[in-house]
């Protein structure tokens, strides 16, 4: 008989005892084709701006799960001459959604063992983290959970709304002769900013 308390011995989607969550998260995300960096509260806006500049993005949507930090980030991006909108304000406008170069979102949780971020319909929306070629996700380090089992235990209390989604690195396909191509229907670039602090001004 198998014992579920020993799930980490069986499933690579769990963290081993004493394994460092942050280190594992960053390694798995990189393996999946994404990138990440750890910052303090004072460096957050600078890191987001730099990432968007490097991606050549101009039209940016910010989602509601950035919380109190959203207006602060919006203001900084506007000063840097980006075209910034709230995702919830334009979500019903298909043309506007299509024109987005990048979205910046928060998240409900992040899974260390798999390098996944978790967003909900209430915050980032169903497609807020998906529609633009570049996705920047702010993850407060306190939101890291060990593995899938911890996430599933927590899920009913996350307030995700009608959809909870895990996403791990960029969108990918290997349909054509098994050649790995990044960026099909979802983003080509996924950058996670790990914030050692909380999203507030």
Task: Enumerate binding residues for other proteins (CB under 8 A).
Answer: 2, 4, 6-7, 9-14, 28, 32, 63-64, 87-88, 91-92, 94, 97-98, 113-114, 116, 121-122, 125-128, 130-131, 147-149, 151-153, 155-156, 160-179, 181, 183-186
Nearest distance in Å: CB 197, other proteins: 26
Nearest distance in Å: CB 9, other proteins: 5
CA distances from 8 to 4, 11, 15, 18, 25 (A): 9, 5, 6, 12, 15
Beta strands 59-62 and 144-145, pairing class: unpaired
Q: Which CB, 40 or 161, lies closer to other proteins?
A: 161
d(CA 98, CA 89): 14
Nearest distance in Å: CB 41, other proteins: 26
Nearest distance in Å: CB 79, other proteins: 25
Nearest CA to 142 out of 194, 105, 190, 104 is that of: 194
Nearest distance in Å: CB 26, other proteins: 14
Q: Which CB, 81 or 174, lies closer to other proteins?
A: 174
Q: Which CB, 172 or 197, lies closer to other proteins?
A: 172
The 109-111 sheet, strands edge to edge: 116-120, 109-111, 144-145
Q: Which CB, 20 or 80, lies closer to other proteins?
A: 20
Q: Which CB, 20 or 46, lies closer to other proteins?
A: 20
CA distances from 36 to 89, 121, 129, 154, 191 (A): 28, 23, 16, 24, 5
Q: Interior CA angle at 25 toward 31 and 195, to 5°?
A: 125
């Amino acid at each position: 008989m198998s014992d579920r308390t020993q799930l980490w011995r069986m499933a690579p989607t769990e963290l081993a005892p004493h394994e460092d969550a942050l280190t594992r998260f960053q390694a798995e995300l990189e393996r999946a084709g994404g990138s990440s960096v750890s910052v303090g509260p004072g460096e957050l806006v600078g890191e987001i701006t730099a990432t968007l500049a490097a991606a050549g993005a101009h039209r940016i949507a910010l989602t509601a799960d950035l919380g109190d930090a959203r207006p602060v980030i919006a203001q900084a991006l506007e000063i840097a001459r980006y075209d910034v909108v709230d995702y919830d304000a334009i979500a019903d406008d298909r043309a506007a959604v299509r024109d987005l170069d990048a979205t910046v979102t928060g998240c409900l949780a992040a899974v260390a063992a798999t390098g996944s971020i978790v967003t909900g319909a209430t915050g980032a929306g169903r497609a807020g983290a998906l529609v633009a070629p570049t996705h920047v996700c702010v993850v407060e380090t306190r939101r890291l959970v060990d593995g899938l089992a911890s996430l599933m235990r927590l899920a009913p209390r996350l307030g995700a709304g009608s959809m909870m989604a895990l996403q791990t690195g960029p969108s990918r396909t290997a349909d054509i002769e098994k050649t790995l191509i990044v960026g099909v229907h979802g983003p080509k670039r996924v950058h996670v900013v790990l914030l050692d602090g909380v999203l507030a001004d």
